[in-house]
């Protein structure tokens, strides 16, 4: 069998996995585990995902495993699965996260709710299909296809599965710091997030960071009759909304000094020039005039910062009464790229609010349900490993992948780049309109089938010996 082993043989195993229902079956079992990391009740499910969905699958592929408990109370564990074939071979660190955001069960309008996958045409609905269960399921299956075809991987594999990514990856940094040698590798290749276009394999080399925070205007306890007091008592709502309106202009461009990166570089502009933001047929309409003036849509999301009010509450929205509310609250988020003065984001906002006379607007830590902060990080586009992965994809697809210097979403990428010192290459499989943080999360079957080809090709090529490390590049 090994004499017949070939790249195309591995690829065709991948096709079978998709075309004979293997993928959908494995994904359904994994989606059925309600591994919500933003709810304390989800903790047992986080453990169950590792114990029931991951470990047996890795065992079958001849991996050993180790589970690291989370140093933070109430947060999910980490799995490190490893298959070591030979010291001289390159070691690849893979990644996935088994936790998902809240199911938002009542809000789904498509499929069978968050916990039961449902195929409708090219779409498979379910919480975690895109973010991230479907993605690491494909990567594991691609390694399995290579193993079956070749009888061995031909490289050393480590795969990290974390269970708290949607809750800010709490504890990951600590666990990796404490166990650096166990996570040591030559290159990081992981999958999360969307491609630039559903059918265009994409190589992502960095990520935006997030800075979550709350704004609160707390003027007095309780409400006061809006007729008797209207005009006499300062309105927390009017103050908070005016304050927010100084942070971005009415077109979404950030106005806070110290909140923007240096101008977009020429090499980044070049890499992004052919990239159109296309989230597929159900993608929301992009308003080309929105946001930072002078940037293309790709530059806005892959090379610039954005500010959003994720949630806001004044008074009682379900039952408004004729009273001046005592408080107004907003939960906000800044997404920022490498190059932004990340250590001074909050103090720069403080200065900004003070400058505009909003002394009574307090900046507070975000609520416990959504504390996730990430720092921005990036691997250079010309790194040998980046080029190597690019050519592997090109061989599979017959055309080059899209290259994103920094993805819009946030991941704990700096743990791999800064802490472990690895070139970090992300190969996202989803697409932008997948509703991954909302009800109706889904993937495209066709897109993931293609991802299976891409990943199988990469893992095949990794065992062929011509890698940067193998060449002692």
Partner 1 sequence: MSRQNTIDKALDCYDDEKNGYYKRLADLVAVPSESQNPDRVPSLYQYLEEQMVPAFTKLGFETKIYDNPFDSCGPVLLATRIEDESLPTIFAYGHGDVVLGMEGQWEEDRDPWALTFDGDKIYGRGTADNKGQHLAHMVAIESVLETRGKLGINVKFVIETGEENGSRGLREIIHDNRDDFASDAMLASDGPRANIAEPNISLGNRGCMNFGLEANFREGGHHSGNWGGLLRSPAHRLNHAISSIISPKGEILVEGWRPQGIPDSVREAALAGERAAGETGPKIDKDWGEPGLTGSQKVSMWNSFEVLAMQIGNPDRPVNAVPPWARAACQLRHVIETKQEDILPSLRRHLDEHGFTDIEITEPPEANRGYFVPGRTNPDHPWAIWLKTAVEKTSGQNCGIVPCSGGSNITGIIAEELGIPFAWLPMSYLACSQHAPNEHILKSLMREGMGIIAGVYWELGSEEGYRP
Q: Restricting to residues 91-130, which ones interact with partner 1 according to CB under 8 A? A: 101-102, 104
What tokens does 248 get? Answer: 């971005």
Q: Could you say which of 22, 51, 74, 237 contacts partner 1 (CB under 8 A)? A: 237
Q: State in angstroms the smallest separation of the CB of 124 from partner 1.
A: 18
Q: Would you say 10 and 456 are in contact if contact means Cβ atoms under 8 Å apart?
A: yes
Q: By CB under 8 A, what part of segment 172-231 binds partner 1?
A: 193-194, 208, 210, 220, 222-231
Total of chain residues touching partner 1, rule CB under 8 A: 94
Q: Taking CB under 8 A as the rule, does residue 435 contact partner 1?
A: yes
Q: Which of residues 69-88 bind partner 1 (CB under 8 A)?
A: none
CB neighbours of residue 351 within 10 Å = 14
Considering beta carbons, is residue 131 or 149 the nearer one to partner 1? Answer: 131
**Candidates 45-53, 119-127, 324-332, 459-467; binding stretch for partner 1 (CB under 8 A):** 324-332
C-alpha separations of 222 from 219, 241, 321, 327 in Å: 9, 19, 12, 8
Q: Cβ distance 46 to 164 under 8 Å?
A: yes
Distance between the two ends of the chain, CA-based, in angstroms? 33
Q: Decide whether 13 or 123 has the Cβ nearer to partner 1.
A: 123
Contacts to partner 1 from residues 440-459, by CB under 8 A: 440
Could you give the angle at the alpha carbon of 31 between the alpha carbons of 124 and 68, nearest 5°?
Answer: 140
Contact with partner 1 (CB under 8 A): which of 116, 184, 234, 466? 234
| Per CB under 8 A, 132 contacts partner 1 | no
Question: Out of 3, 4, 41, 285, which residue is the one contacting partner 1 (CB under 8 A)?
Answer: 285
Which are the contacts of 200, defined by CB distance < 8 A and separation ≥ 6? 401, 402
Tell me if 297 contacts partner 1 by CB under 8 A: yes
Among 74, 252, 339, 400, binds partner 1 (CB under 8 A): 252
Annotate 265-290 with DSSP letters as a single string: PHHHHHHHTT------TTPPPP-TTS
Instruction: Find the shortest distance in angstroms from Cβ 354 to partner 1.
Output: 13
Q: How far is the CB of 168 from partner 1 (least distance, A)?
A: 10
Residues between 338 and 397 that touch partner 1 (CB under 8 A): 356-358, 366-367, 369-370, 372
Handedness of CA 51, 57, 59, 64 (dihedral sign): negative
Question: Which one-letter DSSP state was computed for residue 101?
Answer: -
DSSP 188-223: EEE--SEESBTTB-EEE-EE-EEEEEEEEEE-SSS-
């Amino acid at each position: 069998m090994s004499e017949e082993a070939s790249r195309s043989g591995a690829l065709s195993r991948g096709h079978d996995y998709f075309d004979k229902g293997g993928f959908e079956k494995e994904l359904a079992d994994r989606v059925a585990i309600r591994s919500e990391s933003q709810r304390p009740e989800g903790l047992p499910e986080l453990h169950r995902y590792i114990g029931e969905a991951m470990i047996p699958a890795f065992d079958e592929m001849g991996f050993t495993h180790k589970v690291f408990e989370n140093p933070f109370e109430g947060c999910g564990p980490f799995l490190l699965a490893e298959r070591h074939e030979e010291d001289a071979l390159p070691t690849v660190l893979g990644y996935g996260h088994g936790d998902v955001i809240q199911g938002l069960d009542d809000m789904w309008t498509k499929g069978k709710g968050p916990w039961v996958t449902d195929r409708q045409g090219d779409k498979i609905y379910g919480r975690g299909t895109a973010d991230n269960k479907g993605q690491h399921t494909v990567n594991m299956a691609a390694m399995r296809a290579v193993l079956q075809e070749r009888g061995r991987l031909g490289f050393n594999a480590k795969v990290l599965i974390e269970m708290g990514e949607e809750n800010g990856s709490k504890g990951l940094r600590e666990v990796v710091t404490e166990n650096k040698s166990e996570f040591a590798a030559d290159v990081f290749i992981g999958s999360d997030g969307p491609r630039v276009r559903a059918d265009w394999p994409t190589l992502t080399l960095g990520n935006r960071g997030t800075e979550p925070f709350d704004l609160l205007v707390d003027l007095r306890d309780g409400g006061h009759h809006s007729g008797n007091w209207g005009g006499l008592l300062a309105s927390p709502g009017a103050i908070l909304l005016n304050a927010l309106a100084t942070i971005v202009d009415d077109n979404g461009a950030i106005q806070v000094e110290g909140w923007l990166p240096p101008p977009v570089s020429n090499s980044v502009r070049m890499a992004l020039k052919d990239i159109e933001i296309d989230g597929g047929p159900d993608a929301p309409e992009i308003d080309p005039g929105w946001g930072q003036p002078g940037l293309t849509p790709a530059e806005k999301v892959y090379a610039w910062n954005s500010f959003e009010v994720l949630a806001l509450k004044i008074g009682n929205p379900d039952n408004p009464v004729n009273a001046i509310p005592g408080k107004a609250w907003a939960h906000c988020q800044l997404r920022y790229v490498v190059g932004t003065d990340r250590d001074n984001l909050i103090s720069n906002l403080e200065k900004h609010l003070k400058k505009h006379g909003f002394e009574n607007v307090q900046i507070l830590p975000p609520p416990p349900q959504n504390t996730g902060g990430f720092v921005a990080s990036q691997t250079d586009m010309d790194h040998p490993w980046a080029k190597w992965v690019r050519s592997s994809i090109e061989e599979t697809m017959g055309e080059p992948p899209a290259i994103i210097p920094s993805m819009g979403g946030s991941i704990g990428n700096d743990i791999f780049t800064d802490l472990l010192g690895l070139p970090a290459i992300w190969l996202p499989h989803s697409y932008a309109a997948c509703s991954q943080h909302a009800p109706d999360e889904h993937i495209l079957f066709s897109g993931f089938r293609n991802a299976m080809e891409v990943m199988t090709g990469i893992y095949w090529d990794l065992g062929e010996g011509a890698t940067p490390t193998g060449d002692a590049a």
